[in-house]
Amino acid sequence: MARGWGSQLRQGGRLLIEDLEDVIDPPGPLHEYEDVSAQIVRSGGGLMYAGAALAGLGGESRRVTVSGAAAAQIYLFNVRRWRETPDLPISDPRLRKLEADLVEIMRDDRGTHVSWVVRQLVVTA
């Protein structure tokens, strides 16, 4: 897909791509979010961690680490959106519990962290 996008560039143009290769998170709600997210992405035919599929194009993997509270705040946005989306493969009670757990982590993350391993690359024409 990235090669196809690159073919649309004007001569000398650049396409900057950044996508997940992995997520390193502690057990509990932050990890539960990853499980739920992966299930939703798979149900739509998507690839959760496309960064690994891009490795053949080059680039570098970088680790971005944030506090558990920051990750919970980002994740909470998605969970609330999912609760409004019909026909997801995740039950609303499970999403409600995840939402409440993430709110609690935002209040007190107990020193937890989440690391996103991302592939960053540039495709040039």
pLDDT, tens only, 65-124: 999 999 999 999 999 999 999 999 999 999 999 999 999 999 999 999 999 999 999 988
Category of 12 on φ-ψ map: left (φ > 0), alpha (ψ -120 to 50) or beta = left
Whole-number pLDDT of residue 6:
74
Range of the domain at 40: 2-124
Q: How is 43-86 classified by DSSP, letter by letter?
A: HTT--S-GGGGGGGG--EEEEEEEEHHHHHHHHHHHHHHHHTST
φ/ψ bin of 87: left (φ > 0), alpha (ψ from -120 to 50), beta (otherwise) = left
Is the separation of the CB atoms in 119 and 21 below 8 Å?
A: yes
Measured in whole angstroms, how far is the alpha carbon of residue 89 from the centre of its chain? 18
Residue type, 116: W
State pTM to two decimals: 0.85
3-class DSSP state of 117:
strand
Mean pLDDT of 57-69: 95
Asked whether the predicted pLDDT for residue 4 surpasses 80, the reply is: no
Our separate counts of H helices and E strands in the chain read: 4, 3
Number of domains the chain is built from: 1
Give tens-digit pLDDT for 9-54.
888 888 899 999 999 999 999 999 999 999 999 999 998 898 888 8
- At 55, is the pLDDT very low, low, confident or very high (cuts 50, 70, 90)? confident
* pLDDT of residue 1 exceeding 70: no
Predicted local confidence at residue 52, as pLDDT: 86
